[in-house]
Amino acid sequence: PADTPFLPHDLVAKLATLAHAGAPAVATTENRVQGVCALWPVGCLAALEDGIETGRYRSLWWTLGELRAERYHFEESGAFFNVNTKDQLAEAEMIVRETEGRG
C-alpha cells in the first residue's frame, strides 16, 4: 500500500513463509488484521473469482477468513501506520525526522 510508509522491509518474505497454494497470508498486529498487507498465492485465484462472481466475497477481511488466511504477527504496530490526512502526513514526517536523528 502506498499510504503505509513504514512497512517492514521483510514483509513479503515473512508472509511468504506462511502462504501456500490454497490460502493467503496476512499481516497482523496487536490482534488487528492488516488486510491490505497480504500475500495472495495464484492458487487462490479460482476461489476469489468464484466468490466475487457469486457475491460471497464482499469484504476483504471476510474473504481472508473464508480462505483461511495464515496470520503472521508483527510486534511493531507502527510499521503499519496509515497516512490519509494532512495531520497524519505531518506525524509521519515527524517520525522520519526523529528516526533520522537517532541513526
Instruction: Give the Cα separation of 52 and 72 in Å (integer).
Output: 25
pTM over 0.75: yes
From the CB of residue 24, how many other CB atoms can be counted at a distance below 10 Å? 22
Task: Give the model confidence (pLDDT) of 8-51 as tens digits.
Answer: 999 999 999 998 878 999 999 997 999 999 999 999 999 999 99
CATH architecture of 11-102: Alpha-Beta Complex (3.90)
Helix count and strand count (H, E) for the chain: 4, 3
Domain ranges, ordered by start, for the chain: 11-102
25 and 11 in contact (C-beta within 8 Å)?
no
What residues have CB less than 8 Å from 67, skipping those under 6 apart? Answer: 22, 23, 24, 44, 47, 48
